[in-house]
Chain A
């Protein structure tokens, strides 16, 4: 094989690669659009009126996740299934966002931590690599960490909206998450960097809880609940 032949073979490989990447990028763009729509929808819970409408907002978000499932189904067809990690970078960001949105949705619905299986089910993908397009564990964890900072924001805003008990529940939840993450031996990677931000979220929520308790606002709520 001559040098020229060899290089034209490689050129062929590279342009085929590029085509796949462009196809993936197109689908990912649509996915990002839908993810933004869901985010806008769920973010409206931060508004004072939003607290009452959480269930209806969650239903709407669930509907939007149907679109996500179709797009992800389309994404799967764009590349050979065993080369997931070759193109991982292209959808890593959006998949983390989607994991966050699913986790946030589930938290708003049931105030519990979404499992990786649940996220995979909401997004219509697999949990383990062997079965096809899957949710990488690091992406799932990154999504959970994004949710933590969203919850610290929610704690502040729920006080503003007059809901004094929610911050306490959030605080409890975040503390559990924190001790969960402390079990992990993270390398010096993007996930670790994001985890380093978790302590600020914990701190923020603790401040809110402190403010409420020294003013006796938590007890007031309890008394109200007992009536």
Chain B
């Protein structure tokens, strides 16, 4: 029985062998083999390509979000040196609206998909957005923006899919609500980045003769630091990595407050600014290395 089986295999082999030769010949021209294997792989090709394309589009959106958020943060840093804070805040809000539009495009892209399947593509952008929006919120209200507040702003109403509804669904859903949910982890990482910005703001606000902001910032940073210590290493790996940077920022702010208290009484205000501007450059250099 076994011999017979093997013989069968041989004849099958001969047949396919000749098929193979022709395959080698015209594989350069067309790959239209009737083989079920090839047919199956064509399906996989399509599926993988669709997925990769979507991923790339999301990465691109994420990059744009990162850039715009960074610019907003730079803009917000100007509040320490301009007289009209409100104007800067409004301008930043307009910029953030633009960023939100892009997040709306992400939401559209992943509609009906598993959020986490493409999460890695857009997580840097979202983190940067959280950083920008929470920085904006802090300057305005001196508090930490909550996750719900962030998510509440990421609701998008689309009324462009009239085609879809016309195709058979009831026309009631002419307006479609899309939401984007920032994950708690992204929120956490964004807030960790925020502390770095706050440190910068604290140092530069001294240059403006502002004696209150540093203390407010140091108090706020301490609260955030306590929060992160509370989470400790139960959080994801990236969080514990950022904890180290957070400690550095905190100690810089605390040192600044200390110097302000000790020397504030003896040095005139305009000279205090000099003391701190030299400190700032030192810190910037530190960060360049790190």
By a CB distance below 8 angstroms, the chain A residues around B185 are 14
0/1 string, A57-80, CB within 8 A of B gives 1: 000000000000000000000000
Determine whether the beta carbon of B114 is less than 8 Å from that of A85: yes
Determine whether the beta carbon of B27 is less than 8 Å from that of A8: no
Given contacts A3-B223, A4-B223, A184-B41, contact A10 B231 (CB under 8 A): yes
A-B interface pairs (CB < 8 A), number: 144
Closest chain B CB from A56 CB (angstroms): 14
Contact of A225 among B7, B224, B231 (CB under 8 A): B7
In this assembly, does B117 line the interface, its C-beta being within 8 Å of a C-beta of chain A? yes
Contact of A183 among B38, B115, B144, B235 (CB under 8 A): B38
Closest chain A CB from B25 CB (angstroms): 13
Pick from A32-40, A145-153, A160-168, A199-207 the stretch touching chain B. A160-168
Question: Could you tell me which A residues sit within 8 Å of B by CB distance?
Answer: 1-4, 6-11, 13-15, 18, 52, 82-86, 88, 111-113, 115-116, 129, 137-138, 141, 163-166, 168-169, 172, 175-177, 179-181, 183-187, 218, 221-222, 224-227
Contact of A82 among B35, B114, B188, B226 (CB under 8 A): B114
Determine whether the beta carbon of B6 is less than 8 Å from that of A165: yes
Closest chain A CB from B221 CB (angstroms): 10
Pick from B11-19, B75-83, B196-204, B278-286 the stretch touching chain A. B11-19
Complex Cα gap A9–B151 (Å): 15
Question: Could you tell me which B residues sit within 8 Å of A by CB distance?
Answer: 2-4, 6-13, 16-17, 20, 23, 27, 31, 33, 35-38, 40-42, 44-45, 47-49, 52, 114-117, 119, 143-144, 146-148, 184-185, 187-188, 220, 223-224, 226-228, 230-231, 234-236
Closest chain A CB from B238 CB (angstroms): 13
Given contacts A83-B114, A225-B7, contact A11 B234 (CB under 8 A): yes
Complex Cα gap A164–B27 (Å): 29
Determine whether the beta carbon of A225 is less than 8 Å from that of B6: yes
Determine whether the beta carbon of A13 is less than 8 Å from that of B20: no
By a CB distance below 8 angstroms, the chain A residues around B33 are 179
Determine whether the beta carbon of B235 is less than 8 Å from that of A1: no
By a CB distance below 8 angstroms, the chain B residues around A181 are 41
Complex Cα gap A84–B116 (Å): 8
Complex Cα gap A166–B231 (Å): 59
By a CB distance below 8 angstroms, the chain B residues around A187 are 52
By a CB distance below 8 angstroms, the chain A residues around B37 are 113, 176-177, 179-180
Complex Cα gap A10–B144 (Å): 14
Complex Cα gap A134–B227 (Å): 38
By a CB distance below 8 angstroms, the chain B residues around A111 are 9
Complex Cα gap A176–B267 (Å): 82
Determine whether the beta carbon of A18 is less than 8 Å from that of B47: no
By a CB distance below 8 angstroms, the chain A residues around B35 are 176
Closest chain A CB from B125 CB (angstroms): 18
